[in-house]
Structure 1
């Protein structure tokens, strides 16, 4: 994680998603609707936070709208390395006209709208609308993955044991959250003052309308948690033109997929407590033992279709009498996918967690836990409801609970009739629906066949080495991507790095633009002007890149980038039904939003890999993690790019940077 607020600038491993207007509290009451009233035992919760989960939510600062002048200045600075002199003069003139004309009016309107919606952020509703209105399949285009590290106790990586513990920990996380006992998400700049029992006992008595200010006084930054309530019992429902999010907090069952079949059984009892873990283990064992052949027409493929096509097929499913079965899918706590594959390597695991075989996934669920036959596990999540910050927090908590307090142990057994508790969902399919599934399968296979994934482990050093050299680890990684792309393709292209704005109420994400005049100059010095610069000059250029990247990161984390501001004003302009201002029809605006390099970073003791597909056909999806003593990069591409050559170029670039930082001559 990078930047002023640490974890904020990393976790959205795709184009950032939007949650939109929130009309209710992010934390339901003590117990979800439909549950009983018997008090839950302590074992039902991951922990019992002294500070209520949503204690800071009411007092979070609002996401600022940048000054128009600042936005235009930063926009032009980001355009400069991408354009030649003539193109830049054209774009500069359009930006000046926009700032003094249509842009001023749109900015003022945006400020007025924001003042009338103080319960949320100015980006929330348009960002949410953008995602749900997108008609591209969520498969590859939006859903990312994060895989778990393996359990340090090998016997707990058995598929059945690991899946059982994942379910138990997920339910415990859900219950802790809904009871308001999950510790608030806070970034501590001075943990010795703010991350203490004494401070927590004090701040819990500060009114929630003032609590954020109390944390701020001790250099702690509470983060927005409004997305968390969409983690469980939630599904994206396809609708023509614009999808909707569905949540059924009364539902108590889990959705399990295996070989394309769908099963459901309760994991929460009528009192709202976790079902006996031994029974969950038995039920999952029953599903794994089901010898039924795979269905001829697995419905999971439909969730990877074009959204309008899927919406039409869903209407046909409802008309054919499948409403009850679909409600069971939509309302389930989450989806557990039990795969029969054994992972050969990290690349195989990335493909499995990112898309799988299509039949054994329901990509529309808020999140799915995938567990393979050899116990590899990961989370694939639908992106419209929220960003990676919430999913990463959940994944961290699940991994800690699964490995430190497993509820199911090897050899566990329960005297329970699983055949009475587990039901396999059945669907009536017309010839038209069967044809729809067949086409969806063909489209799935065509899409995933074009995707190539490659990985790099750079072992010469990582975070500790770079910090000792006085440079930002994230800046060095981003410089290596710029340098690598220039080495391979001879270009500097539009680059996106995700940065969370969760320090603000209903914050979404902002874009860091790593391609700058500084990275371009430095990359050219290393790649095209080798031997023309001394080591001291090159170190100075790296330091300048690091300094500027740190500035961009701080600005983005504090809501002072330019991308979301321009997006929100364009959203307003589109709503008027009038011709867009020239800034938005400028080819340079389209080009800077055609992110050939889409990047996102995360580092977590729970996460082994993270990844996502490119966001444009000729792009690269670059997930990376900077560890203490090594750097990992996971890249996905389509045929327009060669992932293996790119990774070789990145490896060479990192080696060159480390050589210079260590005072060695370039090789």
Structure 2
């Protein structure tokens, strides 16, 4: 029996033997895009070059260029003098120490980045240290509707399990840059079977995934529902193959039925607390009984989590916000991947950001998306449910009055933080990648200039801007910052809002700004940005007990975005429908995260309700107006 599923209907066809429509392996979109028969997923990782250390003068020049748009003339000159003194004095000494450190490690930044950007942070993980995304197929093959919660979540879990199998057997094709350079796949080891463990002063990452050649690895799933936790197989124990979609759906429906009788204590709320307090509460919870310790081990070692929510998603805005924030007790915040489904079929995922960056999830999400398209086009085999695989088991915990009190305290801590987040999700449909490229622009750099103009037009000043650049061509490397707010961007924004500027000058300045951004992005990907280098020098000074160098106490350091103070925090998730979101970096700022399709843009904007300066809806309107104006500017040339 093969199920043939369209956009809004389900037709069951029965064939004797093989279907005439059965796909040949090379025709499957998911396999054609992601599966390799000749290369192993992680085979290049140990052979990648070491992360370079930029020239000190180069780094300081890049930094000064990013200060210029946000500083007055007096502020800039003062910063320039501080930078010169730093270069001649303590900065040179620290740089030499960094070069020495680099002789003894293949990635001088790896542990510093994980520790200082994530593991030393004591604030709750959600919302600022997590990211989330939607089921991108919700508005095509998975139209929301009552009664679809378990069905859609089951299909997503099948995609996760299928992706796990590719990783386990190293059949996921290693990724490469446009020039064919092999990229690090190390982060894909931490997408699944990974959790963040709280510590008194510093957390730790526990990554339990292993390939077949490396040894055993967890194969179970944990499901959160109505304040309770359950476990079930995600993979067949003997064969390590995915269960069927119908089996996942049966498991989820049985969990909902089991959990409906009475709400559980909501232990997951403890993970949303301050990290030091959660570390203390976790140890106390473990000490209450051996069963508690065993149940925690099951929760923390699971391949992934699934959350069956008791509320509807209603729309894209609300769903994205709920995916990131939840209600404070329906996410095990430490987990690397949690699939989330609401009562009306909307859903998505929540991820701890510390072990990986968003493109790992985008890869898995796009694989699942294409897999669904394959099923919809060609059908899939439906077999009877195997009852012995569909017996979810509740994880039991001994909970005393102190634990109940700690849960309430954690909720009280997290609720104001989560409720302060606002997220909107929009589609800009006038054009996308194809039109931008016909004009000779790099699509991402073009959109970055639209963000610069949008902020300038709305707020009347330049915005220090962070954009993520992947440095994965190097050994276990992750990201560098592209500082998008350049002198070239400033000149163009001024021209676009000046009545005296003519169209030809505006076009020339736009191209100069876009080209400059594209060049900076390439340099950052090559390990030659300025932020990670300066971060390393700052850490060296701190660990040596030296006074903080003036470059880092100068007001322009923070005003230009240093130490995580970027007013615009941005990132692209590439050229697919897959996208996500995280919180803005600063109270009076925006997060802007987008994907670029051939004929449209998916734009998600986050902010804070408590901000007195920022309005996410007005900012999106300004972004759309900027994109409109940029197209009109370029088209006006052909109308002359």
Indicate how the Cα distance of structure 1 residues 172 and 627 shifts in structure 2: closer, same or farther if over 3 A, else same: closer
1:160 aligns with 2:131: no
Aligned counterpart for 1:648 among listed residues 621, 632, 639: 621
> Are 2:385 and 1:414 aligned?
yes
SS of aligned partner of 1:538: helix
1:103 to 91, 101, 120: 91
* Residue 172 in structure 1 maps to residue 162 in structure 2: yes
2:61 aligned with 1:80, yes or no? no
Structure 1 position 373 matched with structure 2 position 343 = yes
Which stretch of the first structure deviates more once superposed, 46-55 or 630-639? 46-55
- Deviation at 1:511? 0.5
Moved more, 121-130 or 153-162: 153-162
What is the deviation of 1:395?
Answer: 2.0
Q: Is the 8 A contact 1:282 1:418 kept in 2?
A: no
Distance 1:291 1:180, change over 3 A: closer
| Counterpart Cα distance in 2 of 1:647 and 1:544 | 24
Aligned equivalent of 2:197: 237
Give unmatched runs, 5+ long, in structure 2: 1-30, 210-216
- Residues 599, 275 of structure 1: CA spacing in aligned structure 2 closer, same or farther, 3 A cutoff? closer
Which residue of the partner structure matches residue 362 of structure 2? Answer: 392
SS at match of 2:469: strand
Q: Which residue matches 2:28? A: none
Aligned-partner SS, 2:636: coil
Q: Go from structure 1 to structure 2 and tell me whether the alpha carbon gap of 1:264 and 1:657 turns closer, same or farther (over 3 Å shift).
A: same
The equivalent residue for 1:3 is: none
Shift in Å at residue 272 of structure 1? 4.7
Deviation sequence 1:355-404 (CA, Å, 0-9, x none) = 22222211110111112333333221111112223222222223323442
1:547 Cα shift? Answer: 1.2
| 2:226/2:259 contact within 8 Å kept | no
Q: Does 1:124 align with 2:113?
A: no
Higher relative contact order (CA 8 A, sep 6+): 1
User: CA, structure 1 residues 124+265, in 2 after alignment: closer, same or farther (shift >3 Å)?
Assistant: same
Whether contact under 8 Å (2:189, 2:207) holds in the other structure is no
> Quick one: structure 1 residues 291 and 436, their matched pair in 2 at CA, closer, same or farther if it must change by over 3 Å?
closer
Q: After TM superposition, give the deviation of residue 291 of structure 1 in Å.
A: 4.9
Partner of 2:6: none
Q: Are residues 1:517 and 2:487 paired?
A: yes
Question: How far 1:156 sits from its partner (Å)?
Answer: 11
Q: Give the Å deviation of 1:539.
A: 0.8
Change (3 A) 1:269 1:455: closer
Q: In the TM superposition, what whole-angstrom CA distance separates every residue of 1:98-128 from its partner, at most 9, and x where no partner exists?
A: 111111111111111111113xx11111001
1:562-619 Cα shifts (integer Å, max 9, x gaps): 1000001111111101212211121111222211110111135452x41111111222
TM-score by length of 2: 0.86
SS of 1:98's equivalent? Answer: helix
Alignment partner, residue 23 of structure 2 = none
The residue aligned with 2:225 is 258
Q: 2:150 touches 2:253 (CA, 8 Å); kept in 1? A: yes
Residue 57 of structure 2 corresponds to 69
Q: Which of 238, 245, 255 is the matching residue for 1:271?
A: 238
Summarize the Cα distance change of 1:306–1:570 in structure 2 as closer, same or farther, 3 Å threshold. same
* Contact 1:261 1:294 survives alignment (8 Å): no
Asked whether the equivalents of residues 148 and 606 of structure 1 are also in contact (C-alpha less than 8 Å), the reply is no
Residues 480-530 of structure 1 show CA distances to partners (whole Å, capped at 9, x for unaligned) of 222222222222121101111011111110101111111112112222x2x
Query: Is the deviation greater in 227-236 or in 287-296?
Result: 287-296
Find the aligned partners of 1:50 and 1:599 in 2 and give their Cα distance: 36
Structure 1 residue 55 and structure 2 residue 26: aligned?
Answer: no
**Alignment check: 8 A CA contact 1:63 1:559 kept:** yes
1:265-284 CA-partner distances (Å, limit 9, x unpaired): 12234435226424433222
**Cα distance, 1:476 vs structure 2:** 2.6
- Indicate which of 173, 179, 184 corresponds to 1:224: 184
- Report the Cα distance in structure 1 between the residues aligned to 2:638 and 2:73, rounded to whole angstroms: 34
Length-normalised TM-score, structure 1: 0.83
Q: Structure 1 unaligned runs (5+)?
A: 1-44, 190-218
Structure 2: distance between partners of 1:415 and 1:87:
70
Measure the CA separation in 1 of the matches of 2:628 and 2:518: 22
User: Structure 2 CA distance, aligned partners of 1:275 and 1:498?
Assistant: 34
How does 1:8-19 map onto structure 2 within 5 Å? none
What residue number does 1:431 align with? 401
TM-superposed CA distance for 1:453, in Å, is 1.8
Q: Is the 8 A contact 1:238 1:244 kept in 2?
A: yes
Pair 1:514–1:588, CA change in 2 (3 A): same
User: Contact 2:328/2:418 (CA < 8 Å) preserved in 1?
Assistant: no
Contact 2:436 2:442 in 1 (8 A): yes
Shift in Å at residue 479 of structure 1? 1.8
1:150 aligns to 2:137 (yes or no): yes
2: CA distance between counterparts of 1:518 and 1:442?
46
